[in-house]
Amino acid sequence: MTQVVTVRRRALEASEERAGVLRRSFTGSGTLVVNLISSPGSGKTTLLEATLRRLARDHRCAVIEGDVATERDADRIRALGVPAHQILTGGACHLDARQIEAALATARLLPADILFIENVGNLICPTTYDLGEDFKIALLSVTEGDDKPFKYPAIFARAEVTVISKVDLLPHVPFDLAAVEGQLASLNPGGAILRVSATTGEGMERWCELLTTRLAEKRRS
């Protein structure tokens, strides 16, 4: 068990070193990089599609997709005319910084103003892997139940932004928004919480503003 932990720590350290290299490069180019993490099916790709329809006119956007299998998500992004690269992990449950470096070396994604990285659908394993991003975004859809922040505390404590997604389905499911926001406030007092429906457009303006504000701040600093 100790050996497993030691080896995992070494793999994490190697990945963190590469993440540092990536972060310096993104700072140099003024590229805002966000790392989207959620359960499978929380609506990461649908949120990205709705986001790109709004932002890609005035900003150079690019997307790296992580999945165990299929090119489906990258195809959905490319259909919008936005450059996208699909990383297939085989069986691995998260992305790491070395995969991001390799993707950027082979795919034509840069230069970009905003690089979106959609992690493998998994609320646990991607949490500890730094990809050189400016911040992590956790998605929680209202169909997943209002007990999830306390059940998966690490990601909700670490994400600078939590997007409560699929709020158009609130009339059809038991989901106590106030309870979820209370859990998030307790785990992550400084974190932002956005209520969004990519389907109806609710909350999309605030979400896109958050991204463009953070991009402007990065360029100023």
Binding residues for a second copy, per CB under 8 A? Answer: 1, 3-4, 7-8, 11, 39-41, 67-70, 72, 91, 93, 120-125, 128, 141, 143-145, 147-148, 150-154, 166, 169, 172-173
CA distance 178 to 85: 37
- Residue 211 CB, shortest distance to a second copy, in Å, is 24
Nearer to a second copy among residue 32 and residue 123 (C-beta): 123
Nearer to a second copy among residue 136 and residue 148 (C-beta): 148
CA distance 49 to 79: 10
- Residue 168 CB, shortest distance to a second copy, in Å, is 8
**Alpha-carbon torsion (43, 49, 55, 56), positive or negative:** positive
- Residue 47 CB, shortest distance to a second copy, in Å, is 13
Edge-first strand listing for the sheet containing 161-165: 84-88, 61-67, 114-118, 32-37, 135-141, 161-165, 192-195
CA distance 146 to 150: 9
- Residue 160 CB, shortest distance to a second copy, in Å, is 20
